[in-house]
Amino acid sequence: MTDMDGAQNGQLPLVVITGGLGRVATVVLPWLRKRYRVRLVDRAVPAGPSELPLVQADIGDPASARDALADADALLHLAGNSSPWQSWDSVYAANVWPTQVVLDAAAAHGVPKIVLASSLHASGEHNRPRYWPVDPRLDPRPCCPYGLGKAVLEALGRTHAGRTGGSVTCLRLGLTGWPLTERRYLGQWLSDDDAGRLTLAALQARERFGVHFGVSANTRNHWDITSARHELGYRPEDDSEALAERAGPASGPVCRLFDPQTSE
């Protein structure tokens, strides 16, 4: 998708961001605003006046999703519950069902480009030394119900791309928007600036369907970002090694993303 695909009357194209008040949206917005008009969608109440158009709605409601995506040239779907400690019922309600709803709304409006926020947890069982760096072409191996939900999200995206002919890119994001305080995250850190670079590249990619890992150019490379570099044009510039001396030991169990041999 080029900068002006879908734009009308000389305007920049419009990207709708679900979860628009969330952590990931906050770090990527400065990059996206260089190339897109932005419409935020979130069920949360903003702390103060929003300088960007904001639709306060539950994206899991079909009518609200259709209204939110009117005139969109692209969709960045970030909404969801990112806790790895969720039950499957919670994952389905917060992550799987809203993804299906928003994809149906995108299909109804003919939105040509969709970027879905997946997670490393979709391949968490591959986070073992014998697989490093993990190839995104391996079959998903979720490490928890949250990761299973992201694997389902990717399958929904693939089905959408095949059914509509649109372009769908799934980004298996690493540690995004959080401080790097623990050594076990050095191999999956995604800096704020690299998150912006990656998301912008994904929105502009023309691939029919793709799944790519989203981490920085880390020395301790656990996840292979070759496909993101070559197929999306992602050019990461940051390395978690610069923060390694300040990173401490693990604070406690997360899920099977880290087994005893890989946790510190």
- Compute mean pLDDT per 10 residues along the chain, 264 residues long, and list them: 48 97 97 97 87 94 98 98 96 98 98 98 96 97 98 98 98 97 96 98 98 98 97 98 95 88 48
Q: Helix, strand or coil for residue 3? A: coil
Alpha-carbon span 97 to 132, nearest angstrom:
32
Angle value at C-alpha 206, between 205 and 210, nearest 5 degrees: 75
pLDDT given for residue 47 in this prediction: 81
* Domain range list for the chain: 14-246
Neighbours of 69 (CB within 10 A): 25
209-238 pLDDT per residue, tens: 999 999 999 999 999 999 999 999 999 999
DSSP H or E segment with residue 105: helix 97-109
> What's the pLDDT score for residue 261?
56
Tell me how many degrees the CA angle 16-19-202 measures, rounded to the nearest 5. 55
Q: Exposed/middle/buried for 87, CB within 10 Å: 0-12, 13-18, 19+?
A: exposed
- For 223, other C-beta atoms within 10 Å of its C-beta total 25
Given this model, what pLDDT does residue 262 score? 52
Q: Which of 111, 107, 165, 170 is CA-nearest to residue 137?
A: 170
Pick the catalytic residue from 36, 146, 185, 234: 146
Q: Does the annotation mark 146 as catalytic?
A: yes
Q: Are 228 and 195 in contact (CB under 8 A)?
A: no
As a whole number of angstroms, the distance between CA 123 and CA 246 comes to 27
Multiple choice CATH, 14-246, 3.40.50.620, 3.40.50.970, 3.40.50.720, 3.40.1520.20: 3.40.50.720
Neighbours of 70 (CB within 10 A): 13
